[in-house]
Structure 1
Amino acid sequence: MNKTAVVLLNLGGPDSVNAIHPFLFNLFNDPAILKLPLLIRWPLAKLISTLRVKKAKDIYLQIGGKSPILSLTNQQGKALEIILKQKYSGVIKVFVCMRYWHPMSQEVSQAVKEFNPKQVVLLPLYPQFSTTTTGSAIKDWYKNAKKNGLNVPISTICCYPIITGLIEAHAELVTKAYKIAETMGKPRIIFSAHGLPKSVIQKGDPYEFQVNKMAKAIIQALNVKELDWIIAYQSKVGPLEWLGPPTEQEIKKAGFEKKSVVIVPVAFVSEHSETLVELDIEYAEIAKQSGVRSYQRVPAVATHPRFISALGNLVELAIKKRSGVSSFNGKVYCLSDFNNCPMFKEYLGGC
């Protein structure tokens, strides 16, 4: 029987207060995050995770002491599996694989091996490619799949920042928030993406380029004349110079100008601490203190039918490709100066 395993790749998050410290260690021990030799990275990750654990606990206690990302990703997986079973006569099963907390690639690749598929599709839940997210997750999958003896063709979707269903879902959700905000005057839309050190971008990472393309596609879909909007970045950690402007700075600026604000989590497809705490609590308080007239946070696309349908289309593309790496349209999407785009170099024996 023809079996296909679809693996949704996501960041993961602690499932209890006790899991916060090891989750942070796993994050900072990733060579894609701290680009240092293991002998230096391991003790440094121990130190950073220990120093940050109290602050992280305070964050997660505000949302029940754990991350909701696994539950929400499972919901996305179930929704995707339903539409895939309507499309294909073969057996398709969706697996969820997290990068920094369970279920991680070692256990998920073993479960996929036991499923015994003819093909594996890796589908990251990061619309924009970055070496620090999708790239790290793919490398980790290959390493542990090889350890577990999973030896079948793997077809990977590397990015889909402007795929139609994703943009339509965002546009619908933004429109609802915009209509509420504009009752207090013309709003400013702030597309808030997770930040990265500029040094990562300077080495050829296409993340910022793809964030820009996605924001512009949403603006075009909104079709509002003379729209006031900007892209900003959140969640800065450490002393390095990061992408900007900072989201909190743009909120304060909007308050000074007596604007309403619509915040769009443009790089997140499900809710977690960066949206539920940083955007909903911390930045909402900044907006209040800064005089923002109306602060509306757009929800993540989650299981929006158009987004799930778009994921289904990506799986269909990957199945047809059989193996290797492909963007959302099967072609090279990034500009040639992004040498860390997986379609410009052979990525793990991919395209």
Structure 2
Amino acid sequence: MVSARIAVVLFNLGGPDSPAAVRPFLFNLFNDAAIIGLPQPLRYLIASLISRRRAVVAAEIYARLGGSSPLLAETRRQAQALQQVLRDGGLDATTFVCMRYWHPMSTQVAAAVAAMAPDLVLLLPLYPQFSTTTTASSLADWRQAAAVAGLVAPTRTVCCYPTQPGLAAAVADLLATALASTDPTQPTRVLFSAHGLPKRVVARGDPYPWQVAATTRAVVVALGRSGLDHVVCYQSRVGPLEWIGPSIEAELERAAADAVQVVVVPIAFVSEHSETLVELDVDYRTRADALGIKGYVRVPTVSCHPVFIDGLAALVQSALSGAGGPAPASGRRLCPADQPGCPCLPSTPAATAPM
């Protein structure tokens, strides 16, 4: 495999690259059947309506970031770092960045990969926890684009890596630094915050909350601090549907009532973007101040943390030696049998549910 030419495609959601791109970015998001499960043309009409209504608010959010999302630049830095580690390790690997809802999208990237004519393609979503709304959507879109581009190289897919040691160690390292910056005379609670999902998505068997819990457990173990006061919570709720909880707003209120300072960990985000730089850094910090919380510290995303990048490289190496098909790094099914949304074959062994 050392002499093989390998294309490694890193997937992320994407974000608008200019104020004019905000509304079409939102349309692409809400026109995804994984997000709004209505048939066409009804989904098109609903997506048009929602994107028009939300464009003003979203434009204000991105205006705080200079008018565009930093996610593409951030993901490209991660891709470059991973490519360097893989090449240093002897692999003839070239990384590509593919965004789901804004450029560069699957059609463009699949054509570029086809032009490279690799011997093997490795698909690596930058979503550590699998969800039908993120990983599955990105991979389905890629398969269609790859077929159109005539990309026939064998393909391996990493579907998830919620407990990957490099991910857990990198988050734990950043968390330890954040904890060291808090007031040692005051009690502290760690809020592991993930992007939320509507309850009806989870009711269909989406394993995302189970895997978020698994990541949290892995980080707490890697941190090595017994008795850590911590909780998993969810952010970024939109629309009228009932979402999974507890919400980060509710946990901030509970922290205020318990008179504890908080350290917020973006547990499901590996790159900085609007949900971290605006929601966590500005909106929820403002809410914490209004509630009288004396300390609010936000842990950075793992981004290009060397241990995390090494972890991604380990995922690539593991996938290259596997049998192909969607699988976690171990090649075994991670989720229990009551998570039918898991993409792995149900006949493969399931892990014990995280505590």
TM-score range, shorter chain: over 0.9
Aligned to 1:282: 283
**Are 1:25 and 2:45 an aligned pair?**
no
Q: 1:23 & 1:121 partners in 2: Cα distance?
A: 26
Q: Are the aligned partners of 1:8 and 1:124 in contact in 2 as well (CA < 8 Å)? A: yes
Cα deviation per residue 1:46-95 (whole Å; 9 max; x = unaligned)?
A: 00000000000010001111000000000000000001001225x21000
How far does residue 338 in structure 1 lie from its aligned partner after superposition?
Answer: 1.1
Cα deviation per residue 1:102-142 (whole Å; 9 max; x = unaligned)?
A: 00000000000000001100000000000000000000000
Cα deviation per residue 1:199-235 (whole Å; 9 max; x = unaligned)?
A: 1111111000000111111112222232111110000
CA separation of 1:318 and 1:83: change in aligned 2, threshold 3 A: same
Mean Cα deviation higher: 256-265 or 303-312: 256-265
Secondary structure in structure 1 of the residue aligned to 2:302? coil
**Are 1:2 and 2:4 an aligned pair?**
yes
Q: Are the aligned partners of 2:337 and 2:346 in contact in 1 as well (CA < 8 Å)? A: no
Aligned to 1:106: 107
Pairs aligned (count): 345
Aligned to 1:37: 39
Aligned to 1:211: 212
Aligned to 2:172: 171
Letter in 1 for 2:295: S
Aligned to 2:191: 190
Taking structure 1 as the reference length, the TM-score comes to: 0.96
How far does residue 158 in structure 1 lie from its aligned partner after superposition?
Answer: 0.4
Write the mapping of 1:1-351 to structure 2, written as runs, cut at 5 A. 2-89=4-91, 91-321=92-322, 323-344=324-345
Q: 2:103 & 2:313 partners in 1: Cα distance?
A: 24
Secondary structure in structure 2 of the residue aligned to 1:181? coil
Q: 2:330 & 2:129 partners in 1: Cα distance?
A: 14
Q: Are the aligned partners of 2:281 and 2:298 in contact in 1 as well (CA < 8 Å)? A: yes
Letter in 2 for 1:168: A
Q: Are the aligned partners of 2:117 and 2:153 in contact in 1 as well (CA < 8 Å)? A: no
Secondary structure in structure 2 of the residue aligned to 1:162? coil
Secondary structure in structure 1 of the residue aligned to 2:157? strand
Cα deviation per residue 1:148-195 (whole Å; 9 max; x = unaligned)?
A: 111111100000011101000000100111111243512100000000
Q: Are the aligned partners of 1:184 and 1:260 in contact in 2 as well (CA < 8 Å)? A: no
How far does residue 321 in structure 1 lie from its aligned partner after superposition?
Answer: 2.2
Q: 2:183 & 2:34 partners in 1: Cα distance?
A: 41
Q: 2:345 & 2:26 partners in 1: Cα distance?
A: 32
Residue ranges of structure 2 left out of the alignment (5+ in a row): 348-355
How far does residue 345 in structure 1 lie from its aligned partner after superposition?
Answer: 5.8
Letter in 1 for 2:212: V
CA separation of 1:149 and 1:270: change in aligned 2, threshold 3 A: same
Residue ranges of structure 1 left out of the alignment (5+ in a row): 347-351
Q: 1:345 & 1:16 partners in 2: Cα distance?
A: 43
Q: Displaced runs of 4+ in structure 1, greater than 4 A? A: none
Q: 1:210 & 1:322 partners in 2: Cα distance?
A: 23
Letter in 2 for 1:325: P
Q: Are the aligned partners of 1:73 and 1:270 in contact in 2 as well (CA < 8 Å)? A: yes
Aligned to 1:349: none
Mean Cα deviation higher: 256-265 or 92-101: 256-265
Letter in 2 for 1:339: P
Q: 1:177 & 1:329 partners in 2: Cα distance?
A: 30
Mean Cα deviation higher: 6-15 or 322-331: 322-331
Q: 1:305 & 1:147 partners in 2: Cα distance?
A: 36
Q: 2:151 & 2:185 partners in 1: Cα distance?
A: 57
Q: 1:184 & 1:141 partners in 2: Cα distance?
A: 51
Q: Are the aligned partners of 2:99 and 2:105 in contact in 1 as well (CA < 8 Å)? A: yes
Q: 2:122 & 2:226 partners in 1: Cα distance?
A: 40
Taking structure 2 as the reference length, the TM-score comes to: 0.95
Letter in 1 for 2:18: S
Secondary structure in structure 1 of the residue aligned to 2:227? coil
Secondary structure in structure 1 of the residue aligned to 2:98? strand
How far does residue 269 in structure 1 lie from its aligned partner after superposition?
Answer: 0.1
Letter in 2 for 1:70: L
Q: Are the aligned partners of 2:333 and 2:346 in contact in 1 as well (CA < 8 Å)? A: no
Q: 1:88 & 1:108 partners in 2: Cα distance?
A: 24
Mean Cα deviation higher: 222-231 or 303-312: 222-231
How far does residue 336 in structure 1 lie from its aligned partner after superposition?
Answer: 1.2
Letter in 2 for 1:160: Y
Letter in 2 for 1:100: Y
Q: 1:193 & 1:113 partners in 2: Cα distance?
A: 35
Letter in 1 for 2:256: G
